[in-house]
Amino acid sequence: MHALFLAWQYLVFNKLRSLTLVACVTLIAVLPLSLEVLLDESERQLLSRAQSTPLLLGARRSALDLVMNALYFDDEVPELISMLAVDELLAMDLAEPLPLYTRFNARDFPIVGTTLDYFDFRGLKLAQGRQMAVLGEIVLGASVAESLNLKPGDNLLSSPQTVFDLAGIYPLKMKVVGLLERSHTPDDLAVFADVKTTWVIEGLGHGHQDVSQLTDETLIMQRSEKGVVASPKLFQYNEITADNIDSFHFHGDAAEYPLTAVIVIPDDTRSSTILRGRYLEAAGMHQVVLPEKVIDGLLQNIFRIKNVLDAVVVLVGTATLLALLLVFALSLRLRQRELHTIFKLGCSRATTVYLLAAEILIIGLIAGALCVALLYVVDGYSSDLVRTLFIN
Amino acid sequence: MLSVRALEFDYADSDFALAIESLEVAAGEKVAVIGPSGSGKTTLLNLASGIIKSERGSITVADTQIERLSDAQRRDFRINNIGFVFQDFELIDYLNVFDNIIHPYRISRALKLTAGVKQRARELAGRADIGDKLGRYTGELSQGEKQRVAICRALLPGPKLVFADEATGNLDPRNKGRILDLLFDSVAEHGATLLAVTHDHELLPRFDRVVDFLQFHAPGPT
């Protein structure tokens, strides 16, 4: 007990040195362990999300981009496909298709254009408000609502694609009608809208004054028996309201409207096998992937990188421990006079060793406690940390 | 109390040599040890307290021949019989005054730290006029206060023999007198023997006897 008391007094008196040693030891221990916790959590999250998504249909390009965008709403937008892919799937009558258009953002959160079936498929429940019913209405993931402090009745503007592209995509003021319960999945970080709303954001659909009622001739380019062609000066609505919703309409062939992916829910295993076989042809424009297989491949790469990281951590840890030993040895040299004094006062060599060991023990215990506390925090926030650091 | 016979000692790689044919100090005697620097005064105190060991001659303290004891026995003997006031105080900077005084009890199994010992440490500090500074670190003390802490530490176990190595060195005249008063009073109270190394000839009349080390300084080995 005296050894611990004296060691504690020494460490308290030399606060800076002691804190530096504690910080070094804590970092050496906590870094690889935190990485382990985060990688385990990322594996769990990635796999569970992938395992709960039977098949994904998308453009025949990077399967990883497709999966990361469709499942985790990654910023990297895959090659676009069209609604025709959904029509074809429906015609096969083997699966239920859930269209996804995940290309736009609202204040750094992804806008996910989909259908109401998506919420049933993911088991997402409303915490407040109601489901989206008409164009321009959105439902927010729990983290989005919390982060932006939004509630039903508030509005959210979609972000312009680029500020300098005057002919580009303009912001749409969307109305928040519901907030989702926290699901601890990427859905918490998403803004959900009907897929048609995302097409309005893209400019494929719009609303404006009734051109047949226009009296201002400067707004008319051409008037004929076939119809009226308005000039670009014509005011277009950037918000969908009860008063102007009827003026909203879409141009072009609906089958050609874009999507980023289609979640495919096969009726049964046989349907799944048939579907996968039909999209195997290399000449086809579309591919059907098994998200679990794609993520599994990604994880294999992550764990190869982790092995390299582990080796680096071991090397850095060894170097730091050697540096700590050097610091300790130098500190012993500086304390020669003190050690000689306690020898003259009657301290045996064994007691001297106990005193020094007690200092190391206390530093180790404090570093260990800090390490446990930090790991507890990392573990508690691992779900959010993984989504923030790795997945998004 | 202290008997030195035919003692010869030298340090390796040094031309220093100490040769004492005979030195006797009676119990309760207060002896001043004088001599030029390097004449072996501190070396004798270190030899007599068993901190270093001589291969030639004999030193007997309280009927115990020091050189016949093992390292551990010499250490225990020193703890139980000798109080040493070191040159330059040799206090522990990370301990406060009170913990410095009781420090030998915390680092030695031969001494048991009890409530009585702590009470005695407080009383001793009070008599040394540092009772109100028990919670201070030694870095906050004056030279005189540090020396009083060192004396309290040496006297706390109630030693039979007290060695003071230039206990009044670097002190102003007023503090020298107070330190010597403290040493003499404490030694008298315990009936202990005092062997004090000093360069201060003004203090010599207060001692029972003066031993001049000029007589013991032998020519060094060639």
Residue type, B68: R
Query: Could you tell me the CA-to-CA distances from B182 to A276, A384, B30, B126 in Å, in that order?
Result: 100, 69, 13, 11
- B220 pLDDT more than 60: no
Both A213 and A333 in a single domain? no
> Over the Cα atoms of chain A, what is R_g?
31
- Please count the CA atoms within 13 angstroms of the CA of B179 that sit on its side-chain side: 27
A151 by DSSP, 3-state: which? coil
Say if residues A37 and A376 touch (Cβ distance below 8 Å): no
Sign, Cα dihedral of B146, B149, B151, B153: negative
Q: How far apart are CA A178 and CA A132, in angstroms?
A: 7
Chain A closest-CA separation from residue B77 CA (Å) = 9
From the first residue on, what is the mean pLDDT of each consecutive set of 10 residues in chain A (392 residues)?
90 93 89 85 86 93 90 90 92 93 92 95 95 93 94 91 61 93 91 94 80 70 72 75 81 88 94 89 83 90 81 84 85 88 89 91 94 93 76 56
Both A302 and A244 in a single domain? no
Nearest CB partner across the interface for A341, out of B75, B90, B108: B90
Instruction: Please give the ipTM for the structure prediction.
Output: 0.86
- B219 pLDDT more than 70: no
**What pLDDT score was predicted for residue A117?**
95
Q: What is the chain B residue with the closest CA to A8?
A: B94
Contacts of residue A19, defined as CB under 8 A and 6 or more positions apart, other chains included, come to: none
Mean pLDDT of B190-210: 89
- B197 pLDDT more than 60: yes
Both A128 and A249 in a single domain? yes
Residue of A230, A195, A200, A189 whose CA lies nearest to A213: A230
The number of domains in chain A is: 2
Write down which residue in A230, A259, A288 finishes a domain. A259
- Contact at CB, B110 and A351, closer than 8 angstroms: no
The share of chain B scoring above pLDDT 90, in percent, equals 35
Angle between the N-to-C axes of helices A349-380 and A336-344, in degrees from 0 to 180, rounded to the nearest 10:
130
Number of Cβ within 10 Å of residue A68's Cβ equals 23
Write down which residue in A259, A283, A315 finishes a domain. A259
Q: What is the chain B residue with the closest CA to A12?
A: B94
Nearest CB partner across the interface for A13, out of B72, B84, B94: B94
The full set of domains in chain B, from first to last, is 2-92+158-216 (3.40.50.300)
- Contact at CB, B93 and A346, closer than 8 angstroms: no
Residue A138 inside a domain? The answer is yes
Number of Cβ within 10 Å of residue A272's Cβ equals 19
Nearest CB partner across the interface for A346, out of B110, B113, B137: B110
Tell which A residues from 318 to 357 touch B, by Cβ distance under 8 Å.
337-338, 341-348, 351, 355
Residue A213 inside a domain? The answer is yes
- Contact at CB, A10 and B94, closer than 8 angstroms: yes
DSSP bridge pairs for A155: A175
Both A93 and A189 in a single domain? yes
Residue A293 inside a domain? The answer is no
- Contact at CB, B104 and A10, closer than 8 angstroms: no
- Contact at CB, A2 and B76, closer than 8 angstroms: no
Both A131 and A227 in a single domain? yes
**What pLDDT score was predicted for residue A145?**
95
Nearest CB partner across the interface for B92, out of A2, A338, A346: A338
Token output for A229? 């062609």
**What pLDDT score was predicted for residue B222?**
40
Sign, Cα dihedral of B84, B88, B89, B90: negative
Residues belonging to chain B with any Cβ–Cβ distance to chain A shorter than 8 Å: 49, 51, 72, 75-76, 78-79, 84, 86, 90, 92-95, 99, 103-104, 106-111, 113, 137, 153
Residue A67 inside a domain? The answer is no
Residue of B175, B218, B168, B214 whose CA lies nearest to B194: B168
Both A94 and A221 in a single domain? yes
Partners of A344 on chain B (C-beta within 8 Å) are 49, 51, 84, 86, 90
Say if residues B44 and B33 touch (Cβ distance below 8 Å): yes
Partners of A362 on chain B (C-beta within 8 Å) are none
Residue A348 inside a domain? The answer is yes
Both A111 and A241 in a single domain? yes
Residue A60 inside a domain? The answer is no
Residue A226 inside a domain? The answer is yes
Chain B closest-CA separation from residue A360 CA (Å) = 17
Sign, Cα dihedral of A140, A141, A142, A147: negative
- Contact at CB, B104 and A12, closer than 8 angstroms: no
Chain A closest-CA separation from residue B110 CA (Å) = 9
Q: How far apart are CA B205 and CA A214, in angstroms?
A: 126
Both A239 and A177 in a single domain? yes
- Residue B221's pLDDT band, with cuts at 50, 70 and 90, is very low
**What pLDDT score was predicted for residue A41?**
86
- Contact at CB, A2 and B78, closer than 8 angstroms: no
Both A120 and A17 in a single domain? no
Both A117 and A248 in a single domain? yes
Chain B closest-CA separation from residue A355 CA (Å) = 9
Q: In degrees rounded to 5, what are phi and psi of residue B221?
A: -65, 145
**What pLDDT score was predicted for residue B92?**
94
- How many residue pairs bridge chain A and chain B with CB atoms within 8 Å of each other? 57
Residue type, A141: G
Residue type, B106: R
Q: Does A13 touch chain B (CB under 8 A)?
A: yes
Residue A139 inside a domain? The answer is yes
Partners of A338 on chain B (C-beta within 8 Å) are 92-93
Partners of A4 on chain B (C-beta within 8 Å) are none
Q: Which of A14, A344, A349, A353 to mutate to test the interface with B (most CBs of B within 10 A)?
A: A344
Number of Cβ within 10 Å of residue A309's Cβ equals 16
Both A116 and A160 in a single domain? yes
Pairing type for strands B17-25 and B2-10 reads antiparallel
Query: Could you tell me the CA-to-CA distances from A245 to A54, A78, A235 in Å, in that order?
Result: 36, 31, 15
Q: What is the chain B residue with the closest CA to A1?
A: B106
Write down which residue in A233, A259, A285 finishes a domain. A259
Compare A266 and B222 and report the one with higher pLDDT.
A266
Both A331 and A217 in a single domain? no
Mean pLDDT of B201-208: 88
A127 by DSSP, 3-state: which? strand
**What pLDDT score was predicted for residue A166?**
55
Question: Residue A150 sits in which domain range?
Answer: 81-259
